[in-house]
Amino acid sequence: MGQDNNIQILFRKYIEMTLNREELAQLNDILSREDSQEYFDELMQEHFQSYLKNTAELELKAQVIQRRAWEKIEKNIPQVQKPKRYLFGWSRIAAAAALFFIISVTIYFFNQQTSVSTDQYVHSHDIRPGTSRATLIASNGTRFELDGSKQEIVVDHSSVHYTDGEKLAYAEPGQNITLNTPKGGEYRVVLSDGTKVWLNAASSLSYPTSFTGKERIVKLEGEAYFEVAHNPRHPFIVSTGEQQVKVLGTSFNVNAYQNEHRTVTTLLNGSVQLSSSGAASTTQLHPGEQAIFDRSGFEVDKVDAALYAAWKDGEFRFKATPLIEALRQVERWYDLEIDYTGIPAGIQIHASISRHKQLSTVLHALEKISDLKFIVKGRRVELMQ
């Protein structure tokens, strides 16, 4: 309870912009601990709840805080050395606490104004979010355009069908099939062993109609969330080309898009073993850990694992996420072409935005956070110079 009171005091001083250097450092230290972040968010939401009936007043309040905080940041920038790599980029530098608050206030404003008309923010030709859509391709080349309203297919030993029982095809023993989602699409599949897979936009999952042999092997390009059916005698292996994830039964997320230039594996439950021809040894993950694999090998960090699986529940969730990386997620989900020319690499964001919102709402939120302005031309997004 003492810590909660301390957070309240620092929060109030932050609102009033009366924090001294020592108190700002103390706030940074508190925000670096995951057990305090949720309580801090609750304080912020409670404070701004009173402004929701007057959007003009709320926006003015956010602008004032943003201006004052940026003044603090600019004042401190010359004294800040290049930070070490942290999953929460705002946890160790003084200016970052102010930046975290700016972003949180802005995103809270946009997420809460559901009853207020957003016509002033809508681009002339708005773009709807992605939907459940995918193509199933059998090894003999037969293609099935899947019904988006059904959202999920099931593979058993005799057929491939929707969850309501409607059959797509008979399952030939040992046949390999591939589930492809386009940009702006996602889909779910239950494999023959009971493993559940959520496939994100612009991704591909190849798997057999029934698993044979000692191992259950699937191949992934793009991003997927797995809930693997437990079977200690038959390990489940996800191959992404450069990396293999070996599990017995667990929940984890794998991001292996080619344009990300790295493979990110995040473990929610159980344990997994990672290996690669480019790494000298295997790497073991425990719940709440994330492994980033690139040409130099594996790098493991503690993270908020649920953050990296939020997409399957309809949310963009960012914590100290580079703006360019966030925009790539938006690009895939809204089926866009984004011109990244001129977009600063150093901007990081902290936000939670529904993936069910139209593009204009998402872009407007990112514009407010980054102080940039985007132009939408058809399905192409550019930075306004």
| Cβ-based neighbour number of residue 23 at 10 Å | 15
Token couple for 139: 């090894």
Q: What's CA 204's distance to the chain center, in Å?
A: 18
- Mean of all residue pLDDT scores within the chain: 80
Helices and strands counted in the chain (H then E): 7, 24
Whether 296 has a pLDDT exceeding 70, the answer reads yes
Whether 123 has a pLDDT exceeding 50, the answer reads no
Higher-pLDDT residue of 41, 352: 352
CA–CA gap between residue 6 and residue 19 (Å, rounded): 13
Q: Is 236 left (phi over 0), alpha (psi -120 to 50) or beta?
A: beta
CA–CA gap between residue 282 and residue 76 (Å, rounded): 42
SS3 per-residue string spanning 304-369:
CHHHHHHHHHCEEEEEEEEHHHHHHHHHHHCCCEECCCCCCCCCEEEEEEECCCCHHHHHHHHHHH
Whether 55 has a pLDDT exceeding 90, the answer reads no
The CATH class for the domain spanning 314-383 reads alpha beta
Higher-pLDDT residue of 112, 219: 219
pLDDT in tens, 71-111: 554 555 444 333 333 333 333 334 444 445 544 544 444 44
Q: What is the pLDDT of residue 380?
A: 95
Token couple for 299: 């790098």
Token couple for 225: 């969330």
Average confidence (pLDDT) over 312-326: 93
Beta bridge partners of 66: none
Please name the residue that has the structure tokens 């250097």. 21
Strand 135-138 to 176-181 pairing: antiparallel
CB 332 within 8 A of CB 102: no
> Picking from 76-80, 189-193, 217-221, 263-267, which range would have the lowest pLDDT averaged per residue?
76-80
Q: What are phi and psi for residue 378, nearest 5 degrees?
A: 70, -115
Average confidence (pLDDT) over 114-132: 60
Average confidence (pLDDT) over 359-374: 92
In angstroms, the Cα distances linking 70 to 156, 204, 269 are 57, 42, 39
Q: What are phi and psi for residue 94, nearest 5 degrees?
A: -60, -45
Q: What is the pLDDT of residue 88?
A: 33
Q: What is the pLDDT of residue 131?
A: 96
Q: What is the pLDDT of residue 351?
A: 87
Higher-pLDDT residue of 309, 156: 309
The answer to whether domain 131-306 and domain 314-383 are alike in fold is no
Q: What is the pLDDT of residue 241?
A: 82
pLDDT in tens, 256-285: 999 888 999 999 999 999 998 766 778 999
Average confidence (pLDDT) over 338-354: 92
CB 159 within 8 A of CB 184: no
Q: What is the pLDDT of residue 238?
A: 97
DSSP 3-state of 265: strand
Q: What is the pLDDT of residue 216?
A: 96
Burial of residue 374, with CB atoms counted within 10 A of its CB: 0-12 exposed, 13-18 middle, 19 or more buried: buried
Q: What are phi and psi for residue 18, nearest 5 degrees?
A: -115, 10
Whether 116 has a pLDDT exceeding 90, the answer reads no
Question: Residue ranges of the domains in the chain?
Answer: 2-116, 131-306, 314-383
DSSP 3-state of 297: strand
Give the domain 131-306 fold: Jelly Rolls (2.60.120)
Q: What are phi and psi for residue 261, nearest 5 degrees?
A: 60, 25
Q: Would you state the torsion angle of the CA atoms of residues 61, 65, 70, 75, taken in this order, to the nearest 10 degrees? A: 140
DSSP letter (8 states) at residue 157: S
